[in-house]
């Protein structure tokens, strides 16, 4: 069952909120956190924030267990993410990358509680360094391996960790059970992307079939991310039943999940302004935001975000989101960069857009914010937050942010 998109609050169209600006919805973050907290309480799973999806650290206090929030910690894909998690979020810091070098590992050991390796070679390369660090500091670092159950649920290859030829995770044929005698204590599996509990159930079945001899030797497991737990039509009862059964079946001390999107799903907006309308095969509204610079998943996924104007929601003309009402004004929304393909998509609006008019993009807290670039020297959108229509600015960007990335 599909769910209707959240409607943009009317105050986002007022001049009191700047554009372009990512605007975070603190109340929605609270709602998402409450859902995740209930799952944790029932099942005992420990939910981590995937920083690759949401890293707006000014709002970490309302999510962090250290600050009486619901999440146990963070998972990082780099040293810098791990440092952000340690300094600004607290709780447990978990780290995974496709590969590490020695410099990264030495820094990571001072930051991470858990480190998961992508290959047996990486684990064996760094095991002596980790053992020395643990003995010297008296603080053992928990180590695990990422596995690939060779079961694809993803529809888009670029986001499918189990697609043919994937570099992510150890396949069943390559796994060696002796690693549990070497110091490995758990396994990590990440296979999903914006998917429901039914996809998790099928993945767990594949994992059980492919890795059965090794699962009972785990003290902990991490089921990764991609779980759309806070989506309105997500089957949370099935999720909870599956987690409880899985933990009991293998006697796991701890079970982890690391959703990113579920934490900040529908918890942010991107305000934009129409700069010009030019003619092509249809009217093209050029905005002060860019798909290439500010919403790269629009081009990578690809997908079409929901768009709103003061008098209602626009209908996406590509992607099967719905049919335009009779008399609707159809146009193409495009960015201001010099990339010819800087196109957001084709939409039908209740009335023609005009130069200077505000439009608002939905569900922009996740991924878009962390993937922004300054290609063409375009400035990054400001970052703000609101609760009960009270807006506060968190960060603005200028020339120095562009210059200091270069040399």
| C-alpha–C-alpha distance, residues 142 and 218, integer Å | 12
| C-alpha–C-alpha distance, residues 134 and 110, integer Å | 10
| C-alpha–C-alpha distance, residues 31 and 20, integer Å | 26
Percent with pLDDT over 70 in the chain: 97
Residue 64 forms part of a structural domain:
yes
Q: Are residues 148 and 251 in the same domain?
A: yes
Q: Are residues 271 and 313 in the same domain?
A: yes
> Does pLDDT of 49 surpass 50?
yes
Q: Are residues 80 and 149 in the same domain?
A: yes
Q: Are residues 151 and 222 in the same domain?
A: yes
| C-alpha–C-alpha distance, residues 193 and 405, integer Å | 31
| C-alpha–C-alpha distance, residues 168 and 225, integer Å | 14
Sign of the Cα torsion 385, 73, 54, 37 reads negative
Place of tokens 């089957």: 235
Residue 163 forms part of a structural domain:
yes
Do 82 and 102 form a contact (C-beta atoms < 8 A)?
Answer: no
pLDDT band at 154 (very low <50, low <70, confident <90, very high): confident
Q: Are strands 46-50 and 254-257 parallel, antiparallel or unpaired?
A: parallel
What SS3 string covers 111-149?
Answer: CCCEEEECCHHHHHHHHHHHHHHHHHHCCCCEEEEEECC
Q: Are residues 116 and 156 in the same domain?
A: yes
Question: DSSP per residue over 28-87, as a string?
Answer: HHHHHHHHHHHHHHHH--EEEEETTT---GGGGGGTBGGGT-SB-EEEESSHHHHHHIII
Q: What angle do CA 403, 301, 10 make, to 5 degrees?
A: 75
Cα separations in angstroms, 123 against 16, 180, 193: 52, 12, 26
Q: Report the pLDDT value the prediction gives residue 2, as an integer from 0 to 100.
A: 44
Q: Are residues 105 and 234 in the same domain?
A: yes
Residue 32 forms part of a structural domain:
no
| C-alpha–C-alpha distance, residues 10 and 313, integer Å | 12
Q: Identify the domain containing residue 165 by its residue range.
A: 44-264
> Does pLDDT of 323 surpass 90?
no
Output the domain CATH number for residue 275.
2.40.37.10
Q: Are residues 246 and 126 in the same domain?
A: yes
Do 70 and 37 form a contact (C-beta atoms < 8 A)?
Answer: yes
Q: Are residues 172 and 284 in the same domain?
A: no
What are 89-102's pLDDT values in tens digits? 999 999 999 999 99
Task: Answer with the one of 264, 287, 309 that is the final residue of a domain.
Answer: 264
Residue 219 forms part of a structural domain:
yes
> Does pLDDT of 1 surpass 50?
no
Residue 188 forms part of a structural domain:
yes
Q: Tell me how crowded residue 322 is: count the other CB atoms within 10 A of its CB.
A: 11
| C-alpha–C-alpha distance, residues 232 and 215, integer Å | 32
Supply 195's token pair: 């998917």
pLDDT band at 263 (very low <50, low <70, confident <90, very high): very high
Task: Answer with the one of 264, 296, 330 that is the final residue of a domain.
Answer: 264
Q: What is the pTM of this model?
A: 0.94
Question: Across residues 227-254, what is the average pLDDT?
Answer: 97
Average pLDDT, the chain: 94
Q: Are residues 209 and 313 in the same domain?
A: no
Number of domains comprising the chain: 2
Q: Report the pLDDT value the prediction gives residue 60, as an integer from 0 to 100.
A: 96
Residue 1 forms part of a structural domain:
no
Residue 124: partners with Cβ closer than 8 Å, 6 or more residues away = 182
Task: Answer with the one of 264, 285, 315 that is the final residue of a domain.
Answer: 264
Q: Are strands 382-387 and 390-395 parallel, antiparallel or unpaired?
A: antiparallel
**Helix, strand, or coil (residue 26):** helix
- What phi and psi, each to the nearest 5 degrees, are found at residue 308? -130, 150
Residue 355 forms part of a structural domain:
yes
> Does pLDDT of 249 surpass 90?
yes
Question: Across residues 121-129, what is the average pLDDT?
Answer: 98
pLDDT band at 66 (very low <50, low <70, confident <90, very high): confident
What are 361-372's pLDDT values in tens digits? 999 999 999 999
Q: Are residues 123 and 134 in the same domain?
A: yes
Output the domain CATH number for residue 57.
3.20.20.10
Q: Are residues 193 and 283 in the same domain?
A: no
Q: Are residues 276 and 387 in the same domain?
A: yes
> Does pLDDT of 319 surpass 60?
no
């Amino acid at each position: 069952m599909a769910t209707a998109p959240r409607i943009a609050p009317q105050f986002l169209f007022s001049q009191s909120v700047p554009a372009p600006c990512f605007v975070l919805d603190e109340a929605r973050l609270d709602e998402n956190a409450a859902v995740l907290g209930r799952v944790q309480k029932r099942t005992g799973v420990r939910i981590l924030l995937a920083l690759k999806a949401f890293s707006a650290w000014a709002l970490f206090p309302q999510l962090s267990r250290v600050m009486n929030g619901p999440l146990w910690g963070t998972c990082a894909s780099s040293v810098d993410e791990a440092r952000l998690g340690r300094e600004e979020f607290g709780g447990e810091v978990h780290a995974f990358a496709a590969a590490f070098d020695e410099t990264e590992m030495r820094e990571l050991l001072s930051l991470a509680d858990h480190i998961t390796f992508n290959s047996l070679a990486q684990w064996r390369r760094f095991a002596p360094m980790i053992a020395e660090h643990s003995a010297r500091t008296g603080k053992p670092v928990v180590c695990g391996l990422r596995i690939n159950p060779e079961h694809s649920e993803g529809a888009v290859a670029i986001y499918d960790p189990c697609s043919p030829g994937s570099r992510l995770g150890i396949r069943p044929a390559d796994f060696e059970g002796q690693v549990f005698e070497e110091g490995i204590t758990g396994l990590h599996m990440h296979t999903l992307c914006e998917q429901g509990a039914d996809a998790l159930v099928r993945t767990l079945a594949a994992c059980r079939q492919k890795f059965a001899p090794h699962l009972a030797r785990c003290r902990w497991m991490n089921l990764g991310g991609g779980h759309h737990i806070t989506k309105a039509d997500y089957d949370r009862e099935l999720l909870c039943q599956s987690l409880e059964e899985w933990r009991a079946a293998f006697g796991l001390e701890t079970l982890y999940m690391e959703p990113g999107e579920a934490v900040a799903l529908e918890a942010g907006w991107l305000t934009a302004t129409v700069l010009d309308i030019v003619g092509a095969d249809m009217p093209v509204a050029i905005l002060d935001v860019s798909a290439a610079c500010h919403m790269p998943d629009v081009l990578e996924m690809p997908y079409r975000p929901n768009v709103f104007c003061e008098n209602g929601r626009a209908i996406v003309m590509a992607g099967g989101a719905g049919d335009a009402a009779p008399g609707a004004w159809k146009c193409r929304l495009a960015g201001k960069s010099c990339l010819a393909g800087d196109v957001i998509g084709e939409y039908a609006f209740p009335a023609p857009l005009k130069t200077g008019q505000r439009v608002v993009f939905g569900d922009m807290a996740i991924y878009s914010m962390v993937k922004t670039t300054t290609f063409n020297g375009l400035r990054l959108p400001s970052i703000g937050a609101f609760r009960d229509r009270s807006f506060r600015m968190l960060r603005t960007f200028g020339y120095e942010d562009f210059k200091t990335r270069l040399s």
